[in-house]
Structure 1
Amino acid sequence: MRNFHFPGRSPVYAENGVCATSHPLAAQVAIDVLKRGGNAMDAAIAGAVLLGICEPQMTGIGGDCFVLFSPAGSDDVHAFNGSGKAPAVASASKMREAGHSVMPLNTPDAVTLPGAIDAFCQLSENWGTLGIDAILAPAIHYADAGVPVAPRVAFDWASSEATLQGSAREHYLVDGRAPAVGEMFRAPGQAEVLRRVAAQGRSAFYEGEIAEDMVASLQALGGQHTLEDFAAVRGMSTTPISDFYNDVELVEHPPNGQGATAILMTNILSHFDIAGMDPLGAQRVHIEAEAAKLAYDARNRFLADPDETARLAHMLSKDTARRLADLIDPATAHHATSALSEAVHKDTIYITVVDKDRMAVSLIYSIFHGFGSGIASDKFGILFQNRGAGFSLEQGHPNELAPGKRPMHTIIPGMLKENGKVTMPFGVMGGAYQPNGHARFLSNLTDFGMDPQSAIDAPRSFADSVDLKLELGYGDSVRQELSDLGHEISTPDGPIGGAQAIRIHKNGVLEGGSDPRKDGCAIGY
């Protein structure tokens, strides 16, 4: 229980349903959908699509999603891959010939096909109850009427404004500048797109005038995307991966997401007495940082398109984790052996919903970097993701850019199970940080007995390829001790990541936690 003398937020308790996400309007819409008779899948999709209007720098209908969910009356966890592929003519060799050693961030070369709308339509049809027209109605309303810009959104908007180019500046700036806190943002073009999808389904987005707008806008800037590429977009159901940490089963989405990295990291941490360390002390930060460097190095070597990740079993092997744990020196920091990401970012939204029948949904949805590629379709203002920047241009690499291939993705939804029962959908936004965030959150819960809100609130650290980033919640003595161990210490401009979670208690009560690093909240009824 938190100390009520200090600022903070209490967990949210409710019985009929809870949503936790990064913007209060989206959380409220999700609860409204539940009250109207929709289930958790309906509510999660409704809230997620609205988040593309509330937080357009983080996500939108030109992006991708991954989903884990457990149906009502079941403890099975299903996975859905809503990530798009590279165009049919994509070529790593041509990129190398053009002088590129890594994928560019802000050109059509970085734009992979948007998979989220297809995923939302498929999941609505197969697992929802209300229908896609009802699900999209709230986002259509707010896209037309506008939403007031929230404080964290305004902060991120201003920091990513320079990414916007061409018509994107008309669609996503107000009088040529980033909107201030409390100013209204409207997206009438997206409202029209969503109206058509609501009436006609996925074909309205991937074929006809909307697809033509996207293709023409990309081709005008040198893109090689075609109408055939868009028409062929299809997400797919897949099988989750999992392993145990402190008797709690961590369920992750398989590649091309990086969920295996979180499992490898927790498997490495299991070789250390984390529970015996100070939860806010230097030793815990150090061991976690060293484990992250090793787990992310494996990620960078092995993870790719589902058809190309040949060494997944090796990453998930207990023997692999043991051998990597043996490399960690409790007294000395080592430099990362490879860059954590060719294009580090922190821009994503996450939403989780549990309904009265205990269907649980864990959904993450992103355009990769702030405002994605910075390119928007001319007519409708659909902002394109730059997820292609997740590809490697190294010849022969499993994640090498190739036609019709999915890139390695940083976004990962999470789910926890205890004694075979689903007990917590959760997610930690923050780009490359996400596997580290999953491991830290799970350790906070199980090693230190924190409730979900406290586990979210606790200070964070992250060792990337440059330095060890510490939030301001760490004291000077911890910073000095880590520096003495050999870490290069820095304080990031903004907080590290953002998390949301819902615990399903044995008595049926739901407990929601939401990250104060974002504008959002948990809401229940």
Structure 2
Amino acid sequence: MHNLMPRSYRDMVTTPHYLASQVGSAILIQGGNAIDAAVAVSAALAVVYPHMTGLGGDSFFMIYSAQAGKLVGLNGSGRAAAAANPAHFLRDGMSRPPDRGVQSAITVPGMVDAWWEVWSKYGKLPWEDLLRPALRYAEEGVPISRNLHVWMARDEPLLRADPILRDLYIDPLMNTIKPEGAKLKQPQLADSLRTLMQEGRDAFYEGSLMKAIIDAVRADGGLLAESDFTSHRSEWAEPLAVEYRGVQVCQMPPNSQGFSLLMMLNMLELFDLKRIPRNSSAFYHLVTEVVKRAFRYRDMHLSDPAFNSIPLELLLSREMAEQLVDEIRKNPAQTSEFESEPAGQDTAYAAVVDEEGNAVSFIQSLYYDFGSAYTAGQTGIILQNRGSYFSLDHAHPNVLAPGKRPFHTLMPGMALKDGKPIMLMGTQGGEGQPQTQLSLITGVLDYGCSIHEAISLPRWVYGRTWGDDSDRLRLENRDLGDAAERLKAWGHKVDVVDGWDGMMGQAQGILIGCDGIISGAADPRGDGLAIGS
């Protein structure tokens, strides 16, 4: 159950799938830098973890360039189709965009352009070298992993409904889902990867792949059009940062939810966490109340900043943190009310550090498990359903509009000390992403954990998933004692789940010590691996 924590003085790669980790390590050995390795890992994950990510999804990159001595971010999220607007769905009697199918695929996939942008700016190796491992896995096949098989079983009706997915995941002789360990070949996806290798990003946004995707979407009644793809560009952005325990913690700006974590840290900075036992009812109560208050303002403001003004200076101020902490201290043993919006959770986070000192923290997703569950024609590309999170209410900050980027759960993290990276962290999950990063950061900085220990700490997730009528606080059942009962007495709606429950996400992390030792860890809850050389 527990993965090893490798240490190295040279480099480190950690991803949620062992084959993707091996790809990243091989690229570094081949002479590539952390950016090269990140792109190769991202492409490999699109093949070996197809339920969580793919060419039809989005990605965010946070990159520390050792040469420039600077941290930069790349927002690789797609914008809504020009034809997408609330009236389109409201006139069909819908209260929100559909969760699945071609009409849920209303935002342009941004990940391929993000690969091209980060590689063009920082990469060393030829483009085709970075996509070759992914192509080989798609063409020759990979064993179906434990986590993929879990989601195949949960989503069997969706897989059967799409002809391409049915051929990939359903055994034609037994008429059942293929077993864990069976070989998964994706020949159509391999053809698309080969085209990308040969023609670069333009194949996806202007050329043959774009045309194939649009022809299929148009024939099936979707909204994406050629102009949506040709106008797409990723956006370089300056990360947001707050200081916590003398460390600068950095997150992507909106439309990422990363600022919600920074709000949480600003509040916890006002408490002496070392005096609160990590697995106590007092700890879980405090972090849950902190999460609620950050989510309240996240949900009030988060949107595409090109469409809405977001008061980040106020939200990340000391005054705001003190105001919110005063609320908590007025009722130290009583829960407050808050109702979150349920969010998708299937995501893949990875991190790379190279011997030159470059560091890349990156994350990618189709939003839901298998995204829209719609494969575009014969491309083998599953389109994301990220646009299904848009609201149709014109008064909502995340209201659907043409060319708008949605509220985005993706948030790669990095922490700096004296201007240099000391920690890279992130996780799978929607509502769980800021909460799990909070657990990792406090685990390392407040409780003195190694990165492996921090990832292995018992976790919590507060929020609401689809089908729930209210918010729940879910706790992993490890060393809880009477904490759950105390929390219930204080008014929390508590669910105790398995000790290493998959709903807690799959986190990865890298820690760089002051002595130069780089340690990495992958989540025991997933199929990942950390590799140093």
Q: Do they superpose with TM above 0.5?
A: yes
Mapped to 2, the partners of 1:501 and 1:47 lie a distance apart of 15
Match of 2:443 in 1: 444
Change (3 A) 1:177 1:366: farther
Tell whether the 8 Å contact from 1:302 to 1:312 is kept in structure 2 after alignment. Answer: no
In the TM superposition, residue 120 of structure 1 has moved relative to its aligned partner by 0.3
1:504 aligns with 2:512: yes
Match of 1:121 in 2: 116
Tell whether the 8 Å contact from 1:308 to 1:399 is kept in structure 2 after alignment. Answer: no
Mapped to 2, the partners of 1:75 and 1:276 lie a distance apart of 36
Match of 2:374 in 1: 375
Match of 1:24 in 2: 18
Mapped to 1, the partners of 2:257 and 2:526 lie a distance apart of 23
Mapped to 1, the partners of 2:17 and 2:511 lie a distance apart of 19
Q: Would you say how many aligned residue pairs link Structure 1 and Structure 2?
A: 516
In the TM superposition, residue 174 of structure 1 has moved relative to its aligned partner by 2.8
Mean CA deviation greater in 88-97 or 372-381: 88-97
Question: C-alpha deviations, 1:6-31, integer Å up to 9, x for none?
Answer: x7344210122110011111001100
1:118-267 paired onto structure 2 within 5 Å:
118-164=113-159, 165-175=161-171, 177-267=176-266
Mapped to 1, the partners of 2:88 and 2:244 lie a distance apart of 44
Mapped to 1, the partners of 2:74 and 2:167 lie a distance apart of 31
In the TM superposition, residue 476 of structure 1 has moved relative to its aligned partner by 4.5
In the TM superposition, residue 219 of structure 1 has moved relative to its aligned partner by 2.1
What amino acid is the match of 2:122? W
What amino acid is the match of 2:140? A
- Find the residue that maps to 2:516 and give its secondary structure: coil
Change (3 A) 1:506 1:419: same
Match of 1:100 in 2: 94
Match of 2:348 in 1: 349
In the TM superposition, residue 160 of structure 1 has moved relative to its aligned partner by 2.7
What amino acid is the match of 2:333? A
Q: What's the Cα RMSD here?
A: 1.6
Gaps of 5+ in 1: 1-6
Change (3 A) 1:275 1:100: farther
In the TM superposition, residue 481 of structure 1 has moved relative to its aligned partner by 1.2
In the TM superposition, residue 495 of structure 1 has moved relative to its aligned partner by 3.7
In the TM superposition, residue 101 of structure 1 has moved relative to its aligned partner by 2.5
Q: Could you tell me the TM-score, scaled by structure 1's length?
A: 0.95
1:490 aligns with 2:485: no
Tell whether the 8 Å contact from 2:152 to 2:169 is kept in structure 1 after alignment. Answer: no
What amino acid is the match of 1:67? F
In the TM superposition, residue 316 of structure 1 has moved relative to its aligned partner by 1.5
In the TM superposition, residue 488 of structure 1 has moved relative to its aligned partner by 1.1
Tell whether the 8 Å contact from 1:65 to 1:81 is kept in structure 2 after alignment. Answer: yes
Q: For 2:337, which of 335, 338, 354 is the aligned residue?
A: 335
Mapped to 2, the partners of 1:476 and 1:143 lie a distance apart of 47
- Find the residue that maps to 2:482 and give its secondary structure: helix
Mapped to 1, the partners of 2:177 and 2:210 lie a distance apart of 28
- Find the residue that maps to 1:353 and give its secondary structure: strand
- Find the residue that maps to 2:376 and give its secondary structure: coil
Change (3 A) 1:317 1:171: farther
Tell whether the 8 Å contact from 1:471 to 1:495 is kept in structure 2 after alignment. Answer: no
Mapped to 2, the partners of 1:479 and 1:116 lie a distance apart of 41
Q: For 1:44, which of 17, 30, 38 is the aligned residue?
A: 38
- Find the residue that maps to 2:351 and give its secondary structure: strand
Q: Could you tell me the TM-score, scaled by structure 2's length?
A: 0.93
Mapped to 2, the partners of 1:9 and 1:227 lie a distance apart of 45
Question: C-alpha deviations, 1:16-74, integer Å up to 9, x for none?
Answer: 21100111110011000001111101101101111111110000000000000101244
Question: C-alpha deviations, 1:463-520, integer Å up to 9, x for none?
Answer: 2142111112242511111111111111356340111111122232211111101111
Mapped to 2, the partners of 1:469 and 1:25 lie a distance apart of 31
What amino acid is the match of 1:166? D
Tell whether the 8 Å contact from 1:372 to 1:384 is kept in structure 2 after alignment. Answer: yes
What amino acid is the match of 1:427? G
Q: For 2:480, which of 464, 475, 478 is the aligned residue?
A: 475
Match of 1:430 in 2: 429
Change (3 A) 1:455 1:125: same
What amino acid is the match of 1:126? K
Tell whether the 8 Å contact from 1:125 to 1:131 is kept in structure 2 after alignment. Answer: no
- Find the residue that maps to 1:194 and give its secondary structure: helix
Question: C-alpha deviations, 1:345-396, integer Å up to 9, x for none?
Answer: 2200011000110100001010000000111112112101000022222213
Match of 1:81 in 2: 75
In the TM superposition, residue 108 of structure 1 has moved relative to its aligned partner by 3.0
In the TM superposition, residue 308 of structure 1 has moved relative to its aligned partner by 2.9
1:295-334 paired onto structure 2 within 5 Å:
295-310=294-309, 311-328=311-328, 329-334=331-336
Tell whether the 8 Å contact from 1:75 to 1:422 is kept in structure 2 after alignment. Answer: no
Q: For 2:529, which of 509, 521, 524 is the aligned residue?
A: 521
Mapped to 2, the partners of 1:514 and 1:359 lie a distance apart of 20
In the TM superposition, residue 171 of structure 1 has moved relative to its aligned partner by 4.9
* Same amino acid, percent of matched pairs: 34
What amino acid is the match of 1:121? W
In the TM superposition, residue 454 of structure 1 has moved relative to its aligned partner by 0.3
1:57-68 paired onto structure 2 within 5 Å:
57-68=51-62
Mapped to 2, the partners of 1:422 and 1:522 lie a distance apart of 18
Change (3 A) 1:405 1:499: same
